[in-house]
């Protein structure tokens, strides 16, 4: 595997080793590994939509302190992975199932890099949707943790109308267009801290802004009509699937406004060896809060992983 760029922004954060790899359809992806010599195993970290590996450097450092290596990925269409249309700022894909090609590429990279076993899953938002499908596909992990998983998009009663509109626009040849109400600008540079729905921590929000300003190639803006259509279809299909039995903990902020909280609560109620932990005053990205709020989350997660090393 060839070395890929890794941007240590801000300075002083844990540095990952980044590599280029390819999915089975020749889309180039980027993976990053931290603490490869850790003894307990490897956390496969599935980021959310718009995200990139450097965003999770702090989490990887905390996992390393707990004895775990981390391997993460830039999904197709975002980060430094291949973009899938001329408008590089649009979050786009051809089929949601293509993300499972990326999962397979990540697993192959884990073998090539000789990442320590066993494997565990940590998945956020869109990564939680990808990760849930991967678990049904027998992802070889001993336990899983989710943060605000996108088991449905937070559209509430408007979801059927949004899906219908996405179908119509796609049939009209507008699938590559940005979805109505979205824009090319990346969220953290287009939204004031006081209005953001990601984090309550001002310092962490400033960190995300610094990454976006210093390395704009990492960032994307809104999703395309096709992405919305594919995501809604995938979430609907997963909602019909039976309960899983992989040991699991899911974290959900009490002030979550981006993903559908009812879908998360419904699934976790049927997850016999799963636990739902509500994060007081937490918004969408509970791992992008300050140290005091992150600490109990990381402790609960690594405690679950420790039980299955």
Render pLDDT for 250-265 as a digit per residue (tens, 0 to 9): 999 999 999 999 999 9
Evaluate whether residue 243 is within a structural domain: yes
Render pLDDT for 73-120 as a digit per residue (tens, 0 to 9): 999 999 999 999 999 999 999 999 999 999 999 999 999 999 999 999
| Spatial contact of 250 and 277, defined as CB atoms under 8 Å apart | yes
The predicted model gives 259-285 an average pLDDT of: 97
Quick check: 23 pLDDT over 80?
yes
Evaluate whether residue 2 is within a structural domain: no
- State the distance between the two ends of the chain, measured CA to CA, in whole angstroms: 28
- pLDDT of 166 reads 87
Label residue 21 by pLDDT band (50, 70, 90). Answer: very high
Evaluate whether residue 8 is within a structural domain: no
**DSSP labels, the chain:** --B------STTSPPPEEEEEE-TT--EEEEEEE-TT-SSEEEEEE--TT--GGGGHHHHHHHHHTTEEEEEEE-TTSTTSPPSSS-TTSB--S-TTHHHHHHHHHHHHHHHTT--SSEEEEEETHHHHHHHHHHHTT---S-EEEES--SSBS-GGGHHHHHHHHHHHHHTT-TTSBPTT--SS-HHHHS-GGG-SS-S-HHHHHHHHHHHHH-GGG---PBBHHHHHHHHHHHHHHHTSPPP-S-EEEEEETT--SB-HHHHHHHHHT-TTEEEEEETT--S-GGGS-HHHHHHHHHHHHHHHHTT-
- pLDDT of 214 reads 97
Which CATH number characterizes residue 192's domain? 3.40.50.1820
CA separation for the pair 102, 273 (Å, rounded): 28
Expressed as residue numbers, the domain containing 190 is: 17-306
Render pLDDT for 143-188 as a digit per residue (tens, 0 to 9): 999 999 999 998 767 677 888 888 899 999 989 999 998 999 999 9
- pLDDT of 163 reads 80
Evaluate whether residue 74 is within a structural domain: yes
Number of domains in the chain: 1
Evaluate whether residue 4 is within a structural domain: no
The predicted model gives 51-68 an average pLDDT of: 98
CA separation for the pair 280, 174 (Å, rounded): 40
**CB hemisphere CA count around 222 (13 angstroms):** 15
Provide the percentage of residues in the chain whose pLDDT is more than 70.
99
- pLDDT of 27 reads 98
Evaluate whether residue 299 is within a structural domain: yes
- pLDDT of 161 reads 82
Evaluate whether residue 9 is within a structural domain: no
- pLDDT of 101 reads 98
Evaluate whether residue 39 is within a structural domain: yes
- pLDDT of 104 reads 98
Quick check: 283 pLDDT over 80?
yes
Label residue 131 by pLDDT band (50, 70, 90). Answer: very high
pTM, entire model: 0.97
């Amino acid at each position: 595997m060839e070395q890929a760029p890794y941007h240590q922004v801000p300075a002083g954060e844990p540095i990952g080793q980044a590599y280029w790899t390819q999915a089975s359809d020749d889309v180039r992806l980027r993976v990053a590994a931290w603490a490869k010599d850790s003894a307990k195993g490897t956390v496969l970290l599935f980021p959310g939509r718009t995200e990139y590996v450097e965003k999770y450097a702090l989490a990887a450092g905390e996992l390393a302190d707990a004895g775990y290596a981390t391997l993460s990925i830039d999904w197709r269409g975002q980060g430094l992975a291949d973009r899938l249309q001329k408008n590089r700022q649009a979050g786009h894909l051809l089929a949601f199932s293509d993300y499972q090609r990326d999962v397979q590429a990540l697993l192959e990279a884990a073998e090539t890099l000789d990442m320590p076993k066993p494997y565990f899953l940590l998945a956020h938002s869109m990564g939680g949707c990808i990760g849930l499908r991967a678990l049904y596909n027998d992802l070889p992990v001993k336990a899983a943790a989710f943060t605000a998983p996108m088991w449905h998009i937070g559209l509430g009663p408007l979801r059927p109308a949004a899906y219908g509109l996405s179908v119509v626009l796609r049939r009209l040849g507008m699938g590559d267009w940005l979805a109505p109400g979205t824009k090319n600008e990346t969220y953290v540079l287009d939204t004031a801290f006081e209005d953001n729905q990601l984090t309550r921590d001002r310092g962490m929000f400033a960190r995300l802004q610094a990454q976006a300003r210093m390395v704009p190639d990492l960032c994307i803006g809104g999703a395309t009509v096709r992405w919305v259509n594919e995501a809604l279809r995938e979430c609907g299909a997963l909602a019909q699937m039976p309960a899983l039995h992989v040991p699991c903990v899911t974290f959900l902020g009490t002030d979550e406004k981006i993903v559908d909280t009812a879908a998360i609560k419904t699934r976790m109620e049927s997850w016999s060896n799963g636990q739902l932990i509500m994060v007081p005053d937490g918004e969408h990205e509970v791992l992008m809060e300050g140290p005091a709020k992150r600490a109990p989350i990381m402790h609960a997660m690594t405690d679950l992983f420790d039980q299955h090393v």
